[in-house]
Structure 1
Amino acid sequence: MHNHTNGCCDAASHVLTGLRGPLGRRRFLTLAALGGGAALLSATPLRHAAAAGNVEAMVLSCMDYRLVDDTARYMDQRGMTNNYDHVILAGASLGATTDKAPAWQAAFWDHVDVAKKLHHIQKVIIIDHRDCGAYRVFLGLDLKDDPVREKEVHTAQLQKLAALVKEKHPDLGVETLLMALDGSVEACA
């Protein structure tokens, strides 16, 4: 589970904060949906979720359901389990920069500000992915059949957002990454 210690006061959020490993958020939600949530709540010691703490990074990724688990797995493989805040926008870097969704831009910057204040992040990690539907919706581009052009377009968007982060928050580092549909990740500088 990622570091979602945002001060929520309901019992489920406290339980979720304390769950680790195989009995994580997804297992809790599955049990809750099947009617086992009450048993899990009574069997799991409640831990207070602190609103402040230190995490290494804030991750921005796309909402694409095909890569939610791959993104978490990638961050876990980097040794960053529970050491990042996670923001999700369709298109990731594109969602945070497109003029077609100005509220998303504002939400992204608000999240950066809050992540710095609450969790003292040191960097922003931006993870775009191949075959992204947001690029079709916002830019009218279907790039999945031209991987070279696809990487060029994503790299341009990633660099655009990275430059904005560095301009607004020169104290933060920025990583720009492109994930394939198999979960593999490459740097985009």
Structure 2
Amino acid sequence: MRKDDKMRECSAVLPHMVHGPACGCATGPVAPGRRGLLGLAAVAGVAALAPRGARAGSGQYEAMLVNCIDPRFTTGSFLWMSSHGLRDRYSHFVIAGGPIGAVHARFAEWHAAFWENLAVSVQLHSIRRVTAMTHRDCGAAKLAFGEAAVATRAAESEAHASALRAFRAEVARRQPGLAVSIGIMDLNGTVDAVA
């Protein structure tokens, strides 16, 4: 994706935000104008006056996204979820390897934290589905599967797909009312769905 296309896509999803180098879509530093600064000051003032806990953590949300800690995929994951109508409608669980970290034996000590968090999200947010996303060139996948299992794109796809299917099966066992969509995000932000 070209830089101009990325900026247009990001601006469409985040029209109220000031975009800068950390966003990944701007071509250079972008400083907020006077209106932007006044808007930020107004939001900060309202936030400071709002009572803590005014908006409870309960309510009806659509989904939970489970993905990896790799910062290269933060914006892409947000844009993907937003493009599927889920902006501000999903909870988010981030762990090394994403769904791989929740099911692979290499990360067994982490499993309870994820499954308990999922149960709480169902209870508090009434989520209906889970989106589980791994990504290409994942360090946690290399640790879990070994270098050879991710040495080629085809091998990497199969290793990820196997873990994603195991994740989907485990969600079905623990939370049978949830739908699960699984996929592998590429370095350019596209997602290949896994059947």
Corresponding residue of 1:59: 65
Assess if the C-alpha contact under 8 Å between 2:142 and 2:150 holds in 1. no
- Taking structure 1 as the reference length, what is the TM-score of the superposition? 0.76
Cα distance in 2 for partners of 1:43, 1:125 equals 32
Corresponding residue of 2:184: 178
* AA aligned opposite 2:16: G
Unpaired segments of 5 or more residues in structure 1?
1-19, 28-35
Assess if the C-alpha contact under 8 Å between 1:122 and 1:171 holds in 2. yes
Moved more, 63-72 or 130-139: 130-139
What number of residue pairs does the alignment pair up? 161
Assess if the C-alpha contact under 8 Å between 1:135 and 1:142 holds in 2. no
Assess if the C-alpha contact under 8 Å between 1:60 and 1:92 holds in 2. yes
Which structure's residues are more often helix, by fraction?
Answer: 2
Assess if the C-alpha contact under 8 Å between 2:64 and 2:93 holds in 1. yes
Corresponding residue of 2:16: 21
Unpaired segments of 5 or more residues in structure 2?
1-14, 24-36
Q: For the pair shown, which has the larger CA radius of gyration, 1 or 2?
A: 2
Assess if the C-alpha contact under 8 Å between 1:59 and 1:127 holds in 2. yes
Deviation of 1:102 (Å): 2.5
For the residue of structure 2 that corresponds to 1:183, the secondary structure is: coil
Correspondence 1:1-189 to 2 at 5 A: 21-22=16-17, 40=41, 43-46=44-47, 47=50, 48-141=54-147, 145-189=151-195
- Percent sequence identity over aligned pairs: 31
Corresponding residue of 1:13: none
CA RMSD of aligned residues (A): 2.6
